[in-house]
């Protein structure tokens, strides 16, 4: 039997809508054998997820999805199998948290000009953890009745050039990779097809990533089409990167993304879990 890996998902510790324990139970019931909880810029959900995994037939990998600023773009970097008590990682995530708090106030100030009163409080009412995300603002704006879907809120208000967007001032790629490596984890570029980079730009990103010690590329993602997956398998091979597989599950409100149902890795794609530093279990 092949092992069913899902190495990317979210809980209420960041912008997911299920608690860490619920995410773990759902994954186990969906047939996932190894699950990485990878909340945005926080490790807060890991302890609860690990505790729950003890009672399920599932191995929990401590993970994180770090927001990174790279050449005016924001990219997402997964850290898989990190030690949750690593000082450089914990301190680093603290600076990301501080930026998120400032950004939340700034987003609210801008959205108020568009008539969304009390946007900060509104977003916070959807936020169950310490990480305030654009997704929480999106939920609040959908509640207001002025926009129908989360997707439309992003398109109209929360992406570059739109009124509620504040550009990210996240950690650099080099530093984020070093936090993960110092925490004993495996750095993986998340959902590479989502950045809409040209081939040249993607190559530049991955060359830099490798140079800093990067190891993996998320070839199979809940947000990749079959063509994108095939393309990224080739890109991974060309750059000597190990392939990862993750749903990017955020909760039942996005029914098109499910856990346990991902495509297998394409053939001839060495996997991140075959890396000598892979740590499947608890940190």
Question: Which residues of this chain interact with ligand AMP, rule CB under 6 A?
Answer: 15, 40, 67, 133-135, 150-151, 154, 250
Q: Which is nearer to ligand AMP, 126 or 250 (CB)?
A: 250
The reply on whether position 39 binds Mn ion by CB under 5 A is no
Which of 112, 223 has the CB closer to Mn ion?
223
CA-CA distance, 36 to 151, in Å (whole number)? 25
Partner interacting with residue 224 (select from Mn ion, ligand AMP, none; CB below 5-8 Å by kind): none
Question: For residues 133 and 283, which CB has a smaller minimum distance to Mn ion in the complex?
Answer: 133
Q: In the set 5, 23, 37, 76, which binds Mn ion (CB under 5 A)?
A: 76
Rank residues 194 and 237 by Cβ distance to ligand AMP and give the closer one.
194
CA distances from 42 to 90, 122, 145, 179 (A): 8, 21, 30, 13
Query: Which range binds Mn ion by CB under 5 A, 10-18, 28-36, 41-49, 123-131?
Result: 10-18
Question: With helix as H, strand as E and coil as C, how does 63-78 read?
Answer: EEEEEEEECCEEEEEE
Q: Which of residues 187-246 bind Mn ion (CB under 5 A)?
A: 190
**Cα 142 to Cα 39: distance, rounded to the nearest angstrom:** 23
Does residue 248 belong to the site contacting Mn ion (CB under 5 A)?
A: yes
139 binds Mn ion (CB under 5 A): no
Question: Tokens 């603002």 map to which residue?
Answer: 137
Q: Which strand (E) or helix (H) includes residue 59? A: strand 59-70
**Counting contacts by CB under 5 A, is residue 15 touching Mn ion?**
yes
Name the residue nearer to Mn ion (CB basis): 10 or 269: 10
Taking each continuous run of H as one helix and of E as one strand, the counts in the chain are: 9, 7
Write the CB contacts of 279 (distance below 8 Å, at least 6 apart in sequence): 61, 81, 184, 185
């Amino acid at each position: 039997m092949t092992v069913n890996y899902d190495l990317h998902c979210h809980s209420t510790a960041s912008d997911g809508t299920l608690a860490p324990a619920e995410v773990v139970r759902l994954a186990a019931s969906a047939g996932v054998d190894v699950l990485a909880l990878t909340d945005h810029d926080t490790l807060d959900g890991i302890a609860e997820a690990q505790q729950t995994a003890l009672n399920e037939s599932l191995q929990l990998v401590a993970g994180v999805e770090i927001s990174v600023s790279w050449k005016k773009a924001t990219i997402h970097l997964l850290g898989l199998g990190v030690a949750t008590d690593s000082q450089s990682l914990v301190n680093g995530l603290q600076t990301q948290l501080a930026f998120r708090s400032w950004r939340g106030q700034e987003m609210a100030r801008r959205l108020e000009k568009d008539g969304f009163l009390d946007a900060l409080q509104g977003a916070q009412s959807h936020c169950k953890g310490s990480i305030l995300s654009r997704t929480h603002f999106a939920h609040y704006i959908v509640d207001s009745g002025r926009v129908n879907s989360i997707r439309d809120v992003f398109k109209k208000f929360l992406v570059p050039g739109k009124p509620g967007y504040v550009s990210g001032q996240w950690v650099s790629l080099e530093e984020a990779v070093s936090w993960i490596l110092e925490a004993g984890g495996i750095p993986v570029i998340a959902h590479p097809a989502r950045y809409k980079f040209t081939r040249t730009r993607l190559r530049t990103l991955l060359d830099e990533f490798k140079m800093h010690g990067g190891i993996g590329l998320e070839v199979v993602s809940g947000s990749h089409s079959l063509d994108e997956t095939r393309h990224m398998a080739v890109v991974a091979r060309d750059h000597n990167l190990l392939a990862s597989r993750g749903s990017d599950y955020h909760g039942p409100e996005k029914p098109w993304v499910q856990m346990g149902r991902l495509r297998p890795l394409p053939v001839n794609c060495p996997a991140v879990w075959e890396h000598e530093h892979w740590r499947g279990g608890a940190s």
